[in-house]
């Protein structure tokens, strides 16, 4: 039983001889066996793969048409007791019209036949010489010599539980409104395209882009198979381009111009697509605009669970793995953060910002954003009032980095030691200084926030918050302490991404002195430094020892919020992604910690200050995330 709703699909390009049907069928069978050996549940072949696409006027030969139908029967017989949905291309003569069709076969039967909607008849294509458009064929039935009452039309949806397949043929994808757009609205989440797309300079790039974009627009998986090099080269060359896409991402692509049977496979995440469709209300609204109803053809796979799981699961879903893309993303995020802060300054008429600097990652990023903003507004950097506030746990390392960074960036740097104020407060509330509990910690956090708020009032400045998305998810902030600010620039940047943003500035936009400080900050353990340092002056309070690794929590957050994944699926994916880093017990422990903290700390997120959304997730109560503060976590947590 496939509770995760993963399925492996395949695109194939067999070696063919033009009009040599028996030869072509044998290679089709070989490709099917290859896909079966890889546990694929769908295989999509090229357009007219039984006859070859470049038969020309031979398509008008009755003998070719009859033998292609016999070949379909042969493939049906071959498919008996084979747990794979097969889609092959062949002509169909119906009511004196010849159609270019996709035959959908499963376990000995033709489940349905889908005609090509649009017939190209321009530049190098002359298909209307032989074939008829199928865009008006809706909800018909036909009979073949070996099977009666086969559904025939462009509105067929082939369903096996959560897996719903729709098919279109070649040119259909290149039209203004591809039939697959309607198929998606009718429920199809996996689209197959049987194609014969010839090669021209740069055409493959465009082909790849439209497969990617159509899978994104239709929020589906798109399995594309095109004719190969053994088609006629009288005037054209074909390359056998195979592509598998999923919601805008190309999961798998072959090397073109291969001279043997080609099969590529990839695992599709149906739950991910389902969630995206649920979230996208425009998709839901578009369903009502579909001009026809589906004909749903039900069948049952024996088992869809992939025998081996080789789908790539990114450990850091918020961080692009490609270095160039990561640099571009970092630059864009900085621009969004700075634009948000600049607008707030313009709106309020404030020209100064106040920011608390600890020598840690988050305050460093907020400082860098403030510098970029004031540079953009052509305001002096001295308008940044950067304040470091040493306390009981402040180490020389973080203090020195904070001082160096603020001075090198030419800010108005100030130091206010909070020790005496906190000791007085302990005395006022009757709290023993030797008890290092949550009161001991929160007194310091609130004292720092009070100083920052009051200085912002005194200087006529705007207090910039420093907390990041990961801390908000875990509630790792003192309520009405560092939880609060006048504008929070990091509020939708997860901790794993904060590191890369700071690294980007260190590598690309810094003097050697600033770069050295930033790199040392990157190497410093994450800590609020609220507990006394050890006898060697080192940090004793390491955040990740207390709440768990941020890379795990960011992973959990992404799949919990962005994909609404079940706890079982999140744990499955985490164990797959981090199998070289953490054992299963450790992953389960920190997942329970994440869930409990996420639910119990919602009250802090319900009172967040304003701040810009920069990525796919925001926990703002005014935007993406609206959750009652007293919701129970028991349904999501194994260790209650």
Question: Do 99 and 134 touch, CB atoms closer than 8 A?
Answer: yes
Residue 232: in which H helix or E strand, if any?
A: none
Q: Binding site for ATP: residue ranges?
A: 356-363, 466
Give pLDDT, residue 123.
Answer: 87
* 290 a catalytic residue: no
Q: Which fold has domain 323-636?
A: Rossmann fold (3.40.50)
Q: Which of 13, 31, 41, 47 is catalytic?
A: 47
Sorted by where each begins, the domain ranges of the chain are 8-298, 323-636
Q: How far apart are CA 334 and CA 340, in angstroms?
A: 10
Q: Name the one residue in this structure whose structure tokens are 């991404």.
A: 497
Q: Indicate the DSSP class of residue 555.
A: H
Which three-class secondary structure state does DSSP give residue 249? strand
- The confidence score (pLDDT) of residue 2 equals 60
Looking at the DSSP bridge assignments, the partners of residue 164 are 159
Residue 193 region by backbone torsions, left for phi larger than 0, else alpha for psi between -120 and 50, else beta: beta
Tokens of 555: 């992973």
d(Cα 283, Cα 304) in Å, to the nearest integer? 27
Catalytic annotation on 170? yes
Binding-site residue numbers are 122, 197, 203, 356-363, 442, 466, 471, 476-479, 604
- At residue 439, the pLDDT reads 95
Burial letters for 75-101: b for 16+ Cβ neighbours within 10 Å, e otherwise?
bbebbeebbbbbbbbbbbebeeebbbb
Regions of the chain where pLDDT drops below 70: 1-3, 638-640
- In this predicted structure, what is the pLDDT of residue 531? 84
The secondary element (H helix, E strand) that includes residue 461 is strand 461-465
Burial class (CB within 10 angstroms; exposed 0-12, middle 13-18, buried 19+) of 289: exposed
Please write the tens of the pLDDT for every residue from 362-421. Answer: 999 999 999 999 999 999 999 999 999 999 999 999 999 999 999 999 999 999 999 999
Q: In terms of pTM, does the model score above 0.85?
A: yes
Compute CA 256 distance to the chain's CA centroid, rounded to the nearest angstrom. Answer: 27
Q: How many CB atoms lie within 10 A of CB 612?
A: 23
User: Does 246 qualify as catalytic in the annotation?
Assistant: no
**3-state secondary structure string, 152-196?**
ECCCEEEEECCEEEEEEEHHHHHCCCCHHHHHHHCCCCEEEEEEC
**Are 169 and 193 contacting, i.e. CB atoms less than 8 angstroms apart?**
yes
* Three-state secondary structure readout of 383-398: HEEEEECCCCCCCHHH
- Structural contact between residues 271 and 244, judged by C-beta atoms closer than 8 angstroms: no
Q: In whole angstroms, give the CA distance from residue 279 to residue 624.
A: 11
What pLDDT, on the 0 to 100 scale, is given for residue 482? 94
- Provide the annotated binding site for deamido-NAD(+): 442, 471, 476-479, 604
Pick the catalytic residue: 41, 116, 495, 593?
116
Q: Does domain 8-298 have CATH number 3.60.110.10?
A: yes
Tens-digit pLDDT profile for residues 276-294:
999 888 998 898 888 889 9
428 contact partners, CB below 8 Å, separation of at least 6: none
- Identify the active-site residue in 55, 76, 170, 406: 170
């Amino acid at each position: 039983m496939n509770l995760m709703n993963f399925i492996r699909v395949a695109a194939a390009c067999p070696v063919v001889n033009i009009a040599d049907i028996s030869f072509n069928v044998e290679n089709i069978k070989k490709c099917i066996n290859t896909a079966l050996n890889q546990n694929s549940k769908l295989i999509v072949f090229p357009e007219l793969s039984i006859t070859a696409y470049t038969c020309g006027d031979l398509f008008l030969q009755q003998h070719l048409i009859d033998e292609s139908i016999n070949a379909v029967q042969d493939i049906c017989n071959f498919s008996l007791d084979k747990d794979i949905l097969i889609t092959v291309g062949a002509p169909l003569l119906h009511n004196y019209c010849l159609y270019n069709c996709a035959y959908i076969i499963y376990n000995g039967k033709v489940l349905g036949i889908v005609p090509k909607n649009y017939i190209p008849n321009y530049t190098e294509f002359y298909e209307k010489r032989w074939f008829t458009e199928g865009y008006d064929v809706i909800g018909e039935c036909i009979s073949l010599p070996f099977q009666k009452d086969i559904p025939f039309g462009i509105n067929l949806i082939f369903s096996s539980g959560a897996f719903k397949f729709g098919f279109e043929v070649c040119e259909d994808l290149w039209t203004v409104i591809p039939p697959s757009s309607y198929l998606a609205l009718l429920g199809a989440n996996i689209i197959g395209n049987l194609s014969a797309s010839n090669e021209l300079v740069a055409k493959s790039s465009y082909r790849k882009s439209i497969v990617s974009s159509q899978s994104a627009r239709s929020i589906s998986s798109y399995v594309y198979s095109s004719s190969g090099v053994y088609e006629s080269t009288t005037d054209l060359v074909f390359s056998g381009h195979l592509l598998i896409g999923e919601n805008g991402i190309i999961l798998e692509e072959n090397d073109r111009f291969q001279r043997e049977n080609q099969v590529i496979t990839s695992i599709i995440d149906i739950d991910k697509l389902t969630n995206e469709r649920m979230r996208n209300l425009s998709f839901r609204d578009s369903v009502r605009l579909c001009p026809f109803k589906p004909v749903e053809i039900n069948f049952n796979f024996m088992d869809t669970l992939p025998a081996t799981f080789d789908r790539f699961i990114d450990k850091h879903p918020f961080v692009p793995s490609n270095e160039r893309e990561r640099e571009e993303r970092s630059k864009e995020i900085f621009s969004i953060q700075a634009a948000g802060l600049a607008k707030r300054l313009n709106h309020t008429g404030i020209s100064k910002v106040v920011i608390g600097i600890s020598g840690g990652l988050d305050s460093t990023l907020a400082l860098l954003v403030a510098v970029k903003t004031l540079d953009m507004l052509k305001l002096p950097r001295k308008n940044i009032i950067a304040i470091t506030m040493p306390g009981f746990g402040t180490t020389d390392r973080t203090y020195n980095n904070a001082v160096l960074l603020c001075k090198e960036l030419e800010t108005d740097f100030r130091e206010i030691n909070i020790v005496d104020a906190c000791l007085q407060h302990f005395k006022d509330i009757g709290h023993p200084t030797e008890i290092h509990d949550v009161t001991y910690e929160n007194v310091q956090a609130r004292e720092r926030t009070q100083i920052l708020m009051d200085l912002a009032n005194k200087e006529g400045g705007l207090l910039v918050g420093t907390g990041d998305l990961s801390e908000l998810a875990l509630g790792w902030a003192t309520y009405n302490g560092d939880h609060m600010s006048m504008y929070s620039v990091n509020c939708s940047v997860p901790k794993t991404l904060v590191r890369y943003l700071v690294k980007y500035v260190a590598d690309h936009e810094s003097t050697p002195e600033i770069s050295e400080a930033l790199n040392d900050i990157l190497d410093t353990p994450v800590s609020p430094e609220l507990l006394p340092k050890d006898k060697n002056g080192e940090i004793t309070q390491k955040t990740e020892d207390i709440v768990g690794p941020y890379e795990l929590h960011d992973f959990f957050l992404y799949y919990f919020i962005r994909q609404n994944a079940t706890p079982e699926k999140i744990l499955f994916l985490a164990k797959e992604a981090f199998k070289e880093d953490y054992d299963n017990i450790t992953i389960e422990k920190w997942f329970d910690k994440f869930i409990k903290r996420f639910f119990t700390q919602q009250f802090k997120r319900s009172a967040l200050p304003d701040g810009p959304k920069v990525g796919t997730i925001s926990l703002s109560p005014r935007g993406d995330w609206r959750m009652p503060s007293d919701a129970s976590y028991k349904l999501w947590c194994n260790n209650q």
